[in-house]
Amino acid sequence: MSRFIDFKLNKQIINALDDLEFAKPTPIQKEVIPKVLAGNDVIGIAQTGTGKTAAFLIPIVRKLNYSQGEKPRCLIIVPTRELSIQVQEHFQNIAKYTDLKIVALYGGSGKSKQIEGLNGADVIVGTPGRVLELYTERHLYLKSIQYMVIDEADMMLDMGFLPQVNRLLEIIPSKKRQNLLFSATMSPNAKKLTEDFLEYPFIVRLDSDNKIPVKIDQIVYYTSNFKTKVNLLESLLTKKDFEKVVIFLRIKGDANNLFKFIQRKIDSEAAIIHGNKEQNTRLNAIKKFKEGSSKILIATDIASRGMDVDHVSHVINFDVPSNADKYVHRIGRTGRVFSVGQAITFCNPAEKYFLKKIEDQINSKIKALPIPSDVDIPETPLEEKKNYDRLIDFQKQKENPDYKGAFHKKKKKSPKNSKKKFK
Ligand code: ADP
Ligand code: MG
């Protein structure tokens, strides 16, 4: 069995890991740490919540050893400001008994403090946009970088950061630089990025894409309409074992509305994060939730990717995400590393189609539970019912262009229509 002391780490790091109560390395850490210590380029692919951050931070802290108080030697690129801060904190915890200094660079917040922080920083963690900006303005020296990490590569590409990442790779001298890349999934685009970025990398791949940690108990409630979802949520949230809940919605407008409802009717301390919120509001929301003063966090997919919050007891998908990747990311907020969790999905008639696709891709059937008897199930309003029918038709037509649809009036096929099929 492997332990942290079996790696060539020093006392400072071992003590810090003790303080963090990291008793043993996670599987990805077991594989990655020795390879990075030996100087290899490494690609690490493992599902979310498996400890990828420490897998690169531990050997990097070891290799940097102590501050040289000059130019930065390590650059870590992450896709969001929340992740910049999260990685910064993680680094500070692991490097707490060293004099190594880290600075986090991210947009949506003043530059002058960050520029000040660059003074004497050994490590930079930041979003590609802000890092490039400060480089272009000559606040940042990058020629001294010896270790470069791209974290959450799949998300970086999803968010359209490829041009900025490529630009950074051009700027930083590749000679004698050690490169590491981490991702929860490996898309064809991510693969292309690794080809440009790494040299003869070791590939550590611990899980196939879309695998769900076994510790997560998955449940679905089939709800006939929107109001039933709201009633069900209210009923579930007032039950006492829901200690720390993240509620996901696809669209920020819906998230805002639900947030207001929850604040009014269930918990005035609830918090929300989504892309449009002010930087400080978002950080505050995460902080309140982490510390436990909020026990309900409402989030959209983009705002929450990679976010690490301990001991989330439940994830509730108020709507079904549009693909399996997003589903896996959402429910990965619970059951992280060595704890257990439950993921509950609310599924309306039109969403069944997506849920079925997700089940196919994750290769498991999500357990359906009956709606508890205390939950009121009102009639579906006609307009809502029509909407579902329309969506279902749309999905069926996408799969089979000949499908005429139960909802739409059947039209005679015009030459224009039949042409469409070939587009
Ligand atoms: P990933 O990047 O793979 O999604 P993180 O690096 O964010 O996962 O880690 C998830 C959580 O696991 C964090 O709270 C982290 O502190 C914790 N963790 C990491 N390594 C260990 C370990 N060896 N033992 C216990 N907890 C760990
Ligand atoms: Mg991560």
**Range with the poorest average pLDDT among 192-206, 207-221, 363-377:** 207-221
Q: Say whether both 151 and 73 belong to one domain.
A: yes
Closest C-alpha residue for ligand 1 atom 5:
51
Q: Say whether both 201 and 123 belong to one domain.
A: yes
Q: Say whether both 33 and 78 belong to one domain.
A: yes
pLDDT at 407: 60
User: Among 149, 171, 205, which residue terminates a domain?
Assistant: 205
Q: Say whether both 193 and 225 belong to one domain.
A: no
Model confidence over 400-412: pLDDT tens digits? 777 776 665 444 4
Domain holding 365: CATH number? Answer: 3.40.50.300
CA of 85 to the centre of ligand 2 (A): 12
Mean pLDDT of 55-68: 96
Q: Say whether both 64 and 150 belong to one domain.
A: yes
The length of the chain is 423
Reported confidence tier of residue 11, pLDDT bands at 50, 70, 90? very high
26 lines ligand 1 (CB under 6 A): yes
52 lines ligand 1 (CB under 6 A): yes
Reported confidence tier of residue 362, pLDDT bands at 50, 70, 90? confident
- Give the ligand at the shortest distance from the Cα of 89: 1
Phi/psi for 311 (5° steps) reads: 50, 45
Q: Rounded to whole angstroms, how far apart are CA atoms 259 and 95?
A: 38
Q: Say whether both 93 and 185 belong to one domain.
A: yes
- Given a contact cutoff of 8 angstroms between Cβ atoms, the answer to whether 216 and 342 are in contact is yes
User: Among 375, 400, 418, which residue terminates a domain?
Assistant: 375
pLDDT at residue 184 tops 80: yes
Q: Say whether both 24 and 62 belong to one domain.
A: yes
From start to end of 106-189, where are the E strands?
A: 123-126, 147-150, 178-183
pLDDT at residue 370 tops 90: yes
Domain count, the chain: 2
pLDDT at residue 418 tops 50: no
Nearest atom (ligand 1) to Cα of 26: 23
H-run or E-run covering 273: strand 271-273
Reported confidence tier of residue 212, pLDDT bands at 50, 70, 90? low
Q: Say whether both 16 and 140 belong to one domain.
A: yes
Tell me the one-letter amino acid at 97.
Answer: Y
pLDDT at residue 415 tops 60: no
pLDDT at residue 218 tops 80: yes
Residue 405 lies in a domain: no
Residue 169 lies in a domain: yes
CA of 387 to the centre of ligand 2 (A): 38
pLDDT at 141: 92
Model confidence over 246-280: pLDDT tens digits? 999 998 889 999 999 999 999 999 999 876 667 77
pLDDT at residue 69 tops 90: no
H-run or E-run covering 22: none
Pocket residue to mutate for ligand 1, from 22, 32, 80, 96, most atoms within 8 A of Cβ: 22
Residue 191 lies in a domain: yes
Q: Say whether both 192 and 236 belong to one domain.
A: no
Mean pLDDT of 366-376: 93
Closest C-alpha residue for ligand 1 atom 20:
51
Residue 392 lies in a domain: no
Q: Say whether both 200 and 254 belong to one domain.
A: no
Closest C-alpha residue for ligand 1 atom 19:
51
Q: Say whether both 267 and 198 belong to one domain.
A: no
| Secondary-structure percent of the chain, ordered helix, strand, coil, rounded to 5 | 45, 15, 40
Query: Which among 211, 172, 188, 205 is positioned nearest to 43, based on CA atoms?
Result: 205
User: Among 205, 229, 256, which residue terminates a domain?
Assistant: 205
- Give the ligand at the shortest distance from the Cα of 154: 2
- Residues spanned by the domain of 121: 4-205
Tokens of 363: 């290769």
Residue 232 lies in a domain: yes
pLDDT at 19: 96
* Most confident of the following: 4-18, 194-208, 295-309: 4-18
pLDDT at 423: 33
